[in-house]
């Protein structure tokens, strides 16, 4: 039975839950000593993602410590390019790397075998749903085509994704093909996660904010709308959160056009605008992760402002981007206490 009593699902259905449910993007990660310990035994980062015993363990660590309302599958958005044979590596201190793809590589891309390659991740989802407390929502996820494509084209992270923007101007047809291949594969991957027990899924478009107006429509809105359409056509009950970081004023149209159940908000979204967006449906966010590093009054004030402006409507309390390795685990305890102490 999938529980409508899972608070995050209630919010995704449009209800106001008070106090709001809370989880944090990147809640399993290097700020936790128990994560660093497991990570040290895993070999490579991808080994950690592809070993269900270990991936289940690190997913559960923040649930045991804090009792978040959601667990997010431990994996990475770059397992898709890895499954597409792009030779993905996570080099300590340098971030992700892979073989950069060109127009010829894009025409040769084949989606076959991707789900077989990702079978261990799906197995992790299955085990997690069995091991998690009944009331904890299990979130699956994947990257949005644009964000995944930026890494595939550059072969590594860049400050502003200039290589992918340039490639899209020079080779628009190849670029559109890359996005549509990624959209189809990612939708099937999300469906597999839902079938394995994910209660809802989040699509991360971390680099949406570097796109111009037309490109936002073509590269951020269109492929995500397509993914959501595919997922809903096969699994009509699917609950989907779309997080387009830096999308700003585009967010209103982004929700309408993608038909996501909830939209994630980064910390630069003004709370007055966030309240407008909340009139159209649930929102998730948007505390600056640096407030969790700083702690004290800046943490308290940031939490209170969100609760005051968004606490009377459908809200999933979260950060505006992932928690950073510098965050103090005790500040997370304080964050949860303060959010949960909030009365309607
Ligand atoms: O706890 C969770 O949120 C679940 C796991 C998760 C990870 N990555 C684990 C991870 C999730 C949801 C992601 C998403 C992800 N990965 C995104 C989108 C969200 C965002 O933060 O913008 C992106 C762009 C990536 C790609 C990626 N993975 C980068 C750029 C890096 C290196 C930078 C960094 O933070 O280290 C990673 C590595 C990564 N993914 C780590 C973790 C815990 C750290 C690697 C390690 O432990 O050695």
- Pocket lining: 27 vs ligand 1, CB cutoff 6 Å: yes
Ligand 1: centre distance to CA 312 (Å):
31
Q: What is the pLDDT of residue 258?
A: 98
pLDDT digits (tens, 9 = 90+) for 182-232: 999 999 999 999 999 999 999 999 999 999 999 999 999 999 999 999 999
What percent of the chain has a predicted confidence (pLDDT) above 90? 96
The mean predicted confidence, pLDDT, of the chain is: 97
- What is the total count of domains within the chain? 1
Nearest ligand 1 atom to the CA of 78 is 26
Evaluate if residue 91 carries a pLDDT over 90.
no
pLDDT band (50, 70, 90) for residue 72: very high
Ligand 1: centre distance to CA 26 (Å):
7
269: tokens are: 């979204």
Span 259-278, mean pLDDT? 98
Evaluate if residue 4 carries a pLDDT over 70.
no
Q: Measure Cα distances from 6 to 57, 124, 145, 260 in Å.
A: 21, 20, 29, 19
Q: What is the pLDDT of residue 343?
A: 55
- Pocket lining: 45 vs ligand 1, CB cutoff 6 Å: yes
Taking the C-alpha atoms of residue 215 and residue 145, their distance in angstroms, rounded to an integer, is 13
Q: What is the pLDDT of residue 1?
A: 47
Q: What is the pLDDT of residue 311?
A: 97
Span 288-311, mean pLDDT? 98
Q: What is the pLDDT of residue 253?
A: 98
Any idea what the CATH number is for the domain that residue 309 is in?
Answer: 3.20.20.210
- Pocket lining: 206 vs ligand 1, CB cutoff 6 Å: yes
Ligand 1: centre distance to CA 7 (Å):
25
Full domain range(s) for residue 139: 4-340
Span 252-269, mean pLDDT? 98
Q: What is the pLDDT of residue 255?
A: 98
């Amino acid at each position: 039975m999938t529980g409508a009593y899972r608070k995050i699902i209630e919010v995704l259905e449009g209800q106001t839950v008070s106090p709001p449910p809370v989880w944090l993007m990147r809640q399993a990660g290097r700020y936790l000593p128990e994560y660093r310990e497991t990570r040290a035994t895993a070999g490579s980062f991808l080994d950690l993602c592809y070993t269900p015993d270990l991936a289940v363990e690190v997913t559960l660590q923040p649930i045991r410590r804090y009792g978040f309302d959601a667990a997010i599958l431990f994996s990475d958005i770059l397992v898709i390019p890895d499954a597409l044979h792009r030779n993905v590596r996570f080099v300590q201190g340098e971030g992700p790397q892979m073989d950069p793809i060109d127009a010829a590589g894009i025409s040769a891309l084949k989606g076959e075998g991707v789900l077989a390659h990702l079978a261990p991740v799906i197995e992790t989802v299955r085990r997690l749903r069995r091991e998690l407390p009944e009331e904890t929502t299990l979130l699956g996820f994947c990257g949005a085509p644009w964000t995944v494509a930026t890494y595939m084209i550059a072969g590594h992270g860049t400050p502003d994704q200039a290589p992918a923007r340039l490639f899209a101007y020079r080779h628009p047809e190849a670029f559109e093909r890359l996005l549509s291949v990624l959209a189809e594969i990612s939708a099937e991957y999300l469906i597999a996660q839902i079938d394995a027990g994910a209660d809802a899924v989040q699509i991360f478009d971390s680099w949406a904010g570097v796109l111009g107006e037309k490109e936002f429509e073509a590269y951020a809105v269109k492929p995500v709308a397509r993914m959501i359409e595919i997922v809903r056509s096969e699994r009509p009950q699917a609950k989907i959160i779309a997080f387009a970081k830096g999308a700003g004023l585009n967010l209103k149209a982004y929700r309408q056009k993608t038909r996501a159940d909830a939209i994630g908000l980064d910390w630069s979204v003004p709370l007055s605008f966030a309240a407008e967006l909340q009139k159209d449906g649930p929102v998730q966010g948007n505390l600056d992760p640096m407030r969790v590093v700083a702690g004290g009054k800046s943490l308290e004030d940031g939490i209170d402002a969100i609760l005051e402006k968004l606490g009377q409507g459908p809200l999933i309390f979260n950060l505006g981007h992932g928690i950073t390795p510098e965050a103090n685990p005790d500040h997370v305890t304080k964050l949860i206490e303060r959010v949960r102490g909030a009365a309607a």
